[in-house]
Structure 1
């Protein structure tokens, strides 16, 4: 069952059920991609049909942004809990360590941390985790990147590309070219959090949905993005939310 928020269909699952579904993906023959949705993505998808289609074709879409939890409550279609991208990435890495799956890290040039830093941090947290490769690329398409990933034959691909929709579009367009990958996921700034380049908000702020304020304090250049994720999204929910019931 899914909850429709302004056209984006969010899986109505607890974290336990999400992890069970992810575990099932590994036993199937096809690759699946996971979307960690937030209000900014929902607003962007309303103006980009291709992006909207990509989001709704995902094997799994979880509510990363706290605004989606509040919107679902307002629309009387509550979601069980918020599932952040960084926490889900760490959960998947734990599964990979336990079941001997390998991961691959791909990031764009403009990230604060290099994938190698993230790989080092992950190996400290999960000593048995197999990391097949970590690539930093100025390109976000092209046969060279795909060839590098295919050479490593990973089971899991984590992609960090800045800019709304870039990583999801890369995954949707290229997943069928990487047959070994059973799960692909766009992880945004998760590499920077894991590598320690950016501090996460205190747990109490995450819990009450004030993480956006912490990120604004830590990264003031995000002001416009945060404004979109709070004011514009809220206005769209009040104005149009009921149309998608």
Structure 2
């Protein structure tokens, strides 16, 4: 991970990490993370430098990384890994050298970033999901943050052979933050293949199914379930055929990794 000067709005933010489940995870809280991303995006303007690459880890990601070294290597190419899982947060004070302050779920982080971004003139690009879901996500964000600037947006249905054309379109639009919603592990592989081509983009943030939530297609779990670390159960109830089997496999493996592979 590359060191960054994280001074923003007159304050200095250092980004310590701690190892959770074998991954170096940021211990910054929600608002600190949001300020850092906006500050980094603004600093990168006109630099033609590599984007600051931020991704996230939850139980699924930790479990997959423990079984797939190639995927783990993709994660380790990121400059920042957020803790998007309550077990990571709750157990960090017991199993790791530093306690993670709070869960930084991308579905919440996008709003914390956007509150700052619309004031700072930060430009977004939304990449991923279907054309309709993408369009609705952009429309809802524009409704909720009237001063937010979108440099562009497009769906995630393109081939690997088309990636150079897609990246050229993104770079030409000059976004400060590129939100990539292609799903795990596809989005991490996409960033790793193309980050050199994305010089000039300030921040690249992988975001999983974020646009499904922003568009209104998917709903968030009740706050008490989020706080209890049961958002996975809520999602499994909504999509049992797709998610229940996955969670029954990945949750125990992730818990094992968190307990025995943190420091």
Q: TM-score, structure 1 length as denominator?
A: 0.89
- Counterpart contact for 1:105–1:158, Cα < 8 Å: yes
Q: Say if 2:81 is the partner of 1:66.
A: no
Q: Say if 2:258 is the partner of 1:231.
A: no
Which ranges of structure 2 fall in alignment gaps of 5 or more residues? 1-15
> Matches of 2:124 and 2:32 in 1, distance apart?
22
Q: Which structure 2 residues correspond to residues 2-81 of structure 1 after superposition, within 5 A?
A: 2-26=17-41, 27-28=43-44, 29=47, 30=49, 31-77=51-97, 78-81=99-102
For the residue of structure 2 that corresponds to 1:132, the secondary structure is strand
1:128 pairs with 143, 147, 169, which one? 147
- Counterpart contact for 1:117–1:195, Cα < 8 Å: yes
Q: Say if 2:119 is the partner of 1:98.
A: yes
> Matches of 1:203 and 1:183 in 2, distance apart?
29
Q: Say if 2:181 is the partner of 1:160.
A: yes
1:6, CA displacement in angstroms?
A: 2.6
Q: How many residues align?
A: 239
1:94, CA displacement in angstroms?
A: 2.3
- Counterpart contact for 1:171–1:185, Cα < 8 Å: no
Let me know the Cα RMSD of the aligned residues. 2.0
> Matches of 2:149 and 2:202 in 1, distance apart?
15
Per mean C-alpha deviation after superposition, the further-off stretch among 208-217 and 143-152 is 143-152
- Counterpart contact for 2:122–2:149, Cα < 8 Å: yes
- Counterpart contact for 1:2–1:12, Cα < 8 Å: yes
**Structure 1 residue aligned with 2:105:** 84
Which ranges of structure 1 fall in alignment gaps of 5 or more residues? none
1:138, CA displacement in angstroms?
A: 2.0
- Counterpart contact for 1:104–1:154, Cα < 8 Å: yes
Residues 136 and 188 of structure 1: CA distance in aligned 2, closer, same or farther (over 3 Å): same
Residues 140 and 171 of structure 1: CA distance in aligned 2, closer, same or farther (over 3 Å): farther
For the residue of structure 2 that corresponds to 1:138, the secondary structure is coil
- Counterpart contact for 1:89–1:187, Cα < 8 Å: no
> Matches of 2:101 and 2:232 in 1, distance apart?
21
Q: Say if 2:189 is the partner of 1:169.
A: yes
1:76, CA displacement in angstroms?
A: 4.8
1:161, CA displacement in angstroms?
A: 1.0
1:198 pairs with 207, 210, 218, which one? 218
- Counterpart contact for 2:114–2:148, Cα < 8 Å: yes
> Matches of 2:53 and 2:29 in 1, distance apart?
18
Q: Which structure 2 residues correspond to residues 206-217 of structure 1 after superposition, within 5 A?
A: 206-217=226-237
Residues 206 and 137 of structure 1: CA distance in aligned 2, closer, same or farther (over 3 Å): closer
